[in-house]
Chains A and B, each alone.
Chain A
Amino acid sequence: AQSVSQHNHHVILSEAASLELGCNYSYGGTVNLFWYVQYPGQHLQLLLKYFSGDPLVKGIKGFEAEFIKSKFSFNLRKPSVQWSDTAEYFCAVSPWGAGNNRKLIWGLGTSLAVNP
């Protein structure tokens, strides 16, 4: 079955620390890849996406992610986190192909707490 695995469930960092959140998926075909973020009290919003082209994609607020096809990974990174980055981060994959209907398959999320 198709699945998305986020390796870190809870991450606590101090401001200015670097961040890397792991995401791996199980699907051998073409995929669209997403990171969504949910700030406290707010709804889910798109952080960045990969559809095709340059495997290093940049999103809002200084986040970036790298698609490594051979590793089935799409890890999220930020060189220096801020207190305002405290949120829940979700990786999602949209497999292409018959019957997939552009559904998103979601990881369980990573809760990031940044201490000031």
Chain B
Amino acid sequence: GAGVSQSPSNKVTEKGKDVELRCDPISGHTALYWYRQRLGQGLEFLIYFQGNSAPDKSGLPSDRFSAERTGESVSTLTIQRTQQEDSAVYLCASSAQNIQYFGAGTRLSVL
């Protein structure tokens, strides 16, 4: 596609449930990032994938968070046993030449 695509655009879940968020990067972009944006705050780095290298998971806030990427395509971010503090917009970006291109995000609401 022409841009970074994220799904779902909105997700409402109950506390304790698992959720899976999806990101389709721009074709040919080897780098992919996940960020979290809480209301009124900046972007918080979560995880970074670069080609076949081991991902940089240094931003994941707890072991309830994990992410996978299949080759240089789709990535999924999984949050297990969701908590209310996980409510945020989760943004995905793919990158070429050190410029990041963002998707519209998934707004996660944990009730």
**Interface residues, chain A, CB within 8 Å of chain B?**
4, 32, 34, 36, 42-46, 49, 51, 90, 92, 94, 101-109
Contacts and interface: CB of A to CB of B under 8 A. Distances in A.
B56 A103 contact: yes
A49 B100 CA distance: 11
B91 to A, nearest CB: 7
Helix, strand, loop or mixed for chain B's interface?
strand
A44 B102 contact: yes
Contact of B98 (A4, A32, A43, A107): A32
Interface residues of B, number: 21
Contacts of A106: 42-45
Contact of B43 (A46, A49, A51, A90): A90
Interface of B: 31, 33, 41-45, 48, 50, 56, 91, 93, 95, 98-105
Contact of A94 (B98, B102, B105): B98
Given A46-B99, A102-B50, A103-B56, 6 more contacts: A32-B98, A44-B102, A51-B98, A101-B50, A102-B31, A109-B42
A104 B31 contact: no
Contact of B102 (A4, A45, A108): A45
B56 to A, nearest CB: 5
A101 B48 contact: yes
Nearest to B44: A106
